[in-house]
With several copies, the nearest count.
Chain A
Amino acid sequence: MLPLAAIISQVNWAEFLSLITSDSSVAALGLSLRTSMISTVLCVVFGVPMALVLARTDFPGQKLLRALVLLPLVLPPVVGGIALLYTFGRQGLLGTSLEVLGIDIAFSTTAVVIAQTFVALPFLVLSLEGAIRSAGNRYEAVAATLGARPGTVLRRITLPLVLPGLISGMVLSFARALGEFGATLTFAGSLEGVTRTLPLEIYLQRETDPDAAVALSLVLVVVAVLVVGLAHRSRAPGGGAL
C-alpha cells in the first residue's frame, strides 16, 4: 500500500482540481471508461463460452488452448500490440478482408476496444474457469435429472452458482482494460478523444507536466477502487458453515 501513499504524497493538491479537469484529461477519462466498459462486455461475450469449454470439456488440444488463452497475459503489451497490428492492421492477416468489407479499424476507438479486450480476456476466462471447476458439476447433474436441458442448466444453475467468480472476473477485466497502455499505444495510436485513453494521457503528460501525470494517476486509482468496491458490494451473501 506504500506505493499508493507515495503517489498521494506527490500530488500537488493546490492545483489538483484544475489539473484533472483540463479538456484533455476529461476526454481521456471519458474515453477510458467507455472503452473499458465495452471491452468488459466483450470479454463476457467471448470469455464465458471459452471458460465453459475449458472447465467442462476434455479434448486433446485443451492444454494448448488454455495456454493460448493465457497468451496476452504473458506477452508484453507492446508485443501484443504488434501482434494485433499483424492481425487486424491494414496489411495484417485479417486486415485485407476487413478492408474489402469497408471496415477500417486503424486509429479508431474500435482499435482501442480490441486492444483492451485482447489483454483483458484472459482475466475473465481464468477467474471464471476456476469458479466453474470448483463449483463441481453435481448440481448440474441434479438439474439434468429434473429435466433441464443444457441451456437451462447453464442459465439457471451454472451461471448463478459461479456468479461471484464471474463478477470478480469482470472486475479484473475492467481493471485491466482501464490500465491498458502498451497494446493500445502500439495498435490504436494516440489521438485525443478517439484513441488516447487515460493511461496514454498520463504517459504523455509525464513528458511535460509530471504534476498532471501524478494527479491523473490518482484519478485512475480512485476510479478502479470505486469499481472494485461497488462490484464487491453487489455480491449476494454466500453459503453457510456446517
Chain B
Amino acid sequence: VSGDNTVTVFAAASLQSTFTTLAEDFEAANPGMEVTLSFAGSSDLATQLSAGAPADVFASAATATMDRLVQEGLIDGTPVDFASNTLMIAVPPGNPADVAGFGDLADPSTRVVLCAPQVPCGAAAVQAQQAAGITVNAVSEESSVTDVLGKVRSGEADAGLVYVTDVLAAGDAVEGIDFDESDQAVTTYPVAAMTDGNVEAARDFLDLVTGPEGQRLLSAAGFAAP
C-alpha cells in the first residue's frame, strides 16, 4: 500500500508521545525512510483497517481489537505484546474529595468516573472492582480514557480510573493515587505488521518498538513490560 520508503503506523492514542519519538528515531536510523503516524482509539483504527486503510503497522491498546483483525486475515504473522498499562486513580490537583485508596471510590458522595465496560480501560476497571470486592457507583461511564481524564482534569469528577501513562502525561494537571488491586487490572498492548503493507519496513519498526530503545521510551512514559 505505502511506497517502499514510507511506513504508516496506526497506533492507539495513548501511545502518541512515545511513538512520535520512536518514529523520529526510526527515520534517523533509516535515512530515506519516512514514518507516517495515525493516532485514534484502538477500535476506530481497527474499523479503518477493516475498511482497507493503508497501514503497515498496527499498535493496539486492546488484545480484543487486534484479535478481530487477525481473524479477518489482515495481520501478518502473530501480534507481539510490547507493553502493558495498569490503572491508577486520578484526582484533581489538591484531591478535593480526599480519596486515599480504591475503597474510597465506593463512597456515594465521591463523584467517580470510569470507562464503560465495553472499552479496554473499562474492562480493566471491572476487574479491579471484582478484585477489591467493591462496587463503584460511577456518575459516568466514558467511552475513552481521554474523556475520563478530561472530567478529572476539569475538576468535574472527584476521581477517575485511568492508566498510569495518562497520569504521567498529564503532569501537574492531575494527581495519581496507586492502589493495590491495580495489578489485577492490566491492559496488554499488542503490535503487528499488516498483511497488505510494506511488511519488511514494518518488521524493522516492530523491532524498534520491542527493542531496548522502544522499551526504554515506553517505560519512561509509564508503561510496564507486557
Contact B146 A92 (CB under 8 A): no
Contact A85 B118 (CB under 8 A): no
Task: Give per-residue flags for A168-186: 1 if the beta carbon is below 8 A from chain B beta carbons, else 0.
Answer: 0000000000000000011
Among B38, B39, B53, B147, the residue within 8 A (CB) of A106 is B53
Q: For the complex, is A110 an interface residue (Cβ under 8 Å from B)? A: no
Contact B146 A107 (CB under 8 A): no
Contact A190 B116 (CB under 8 A): yes
Known pairs A107-B48, A203-B143; A85 contacts B14 (CB<8 A): no
Chief secondary structure at chain B's binding surface: mixed
Question: Separation in Å of the A28 CB from the closest CB of chain B?
Answer: 13
Which residues of the other chain, A, contact B138 by a CB distance below 8 angstroms?
191
Among A92, A189, A206, A207, the residue within 8 A (CB) of B38 is A189
Among B8, B16, B50, B155, the residue within 8 A (CB) of A207 is B16
Contact A90 B155 (CB under 8 A): yes
CA of A205 to CA of B47, assembled, Å? 13
Task: Please name the residue on chain A nearest to B173 by beta carbon.
Answer: A210
Task: Please name the residue on chain B nearest to A24 by beta carbon.
Answer: B20
Known pairs A107-B140, A191-B36, A208-B169; A185 contacts B154 (CB<8 A): no
Which residues of the other chain, A, contact B157 by a CB distance below 8 angstroms?
106-107
Contact A90 B140 (CB under 8 A): no
Task: Give per-residue flags for B143-174: 1 if the beta carbon is below 8 A from chain A beta carbons, else 0.
Answer: 10011001101111100000000000100010
Which residues of the other chain, A, contact B47 by a CB distance below 8 angstroms?
82, 85, 186, 206
CA of A191 to CA of B7, assembled, Å? 12
CA of A90 to CA of B53, assembled, Å? 9
Those of A117-142 within 8 Å (CB) of chain B: none
Which residues of the other chain, B, contact A207 by a CB distance below 8 angstroms?
13-14, 16, 39, 43, 116, 118-119, 143, 146, 169
Q: For the complex, is B29 an interface residue (Cβ under 8 Å from A)? A: no
CA of A64 to CA of B203, assembled, Å? 52
Contact B155 A89 (CB under 8 A): yes
Chain A: residues with CB nearer than 8 A to chain B?
82, 85-86, 89-92, 95, 104, 106-107, 185-186, 188-192, 194-196, 200, 203-208, 210
A-B contact pairs, 15 of them (CB 8 A): A85-B48, A85-B51, A85-B154, A85-B156, A106-B53, A107-B140, A186-B44, A189-B53, A189-B142, A190-B40, A196-B141, A200-B143, A203-B143, A204-B13, A208-B16
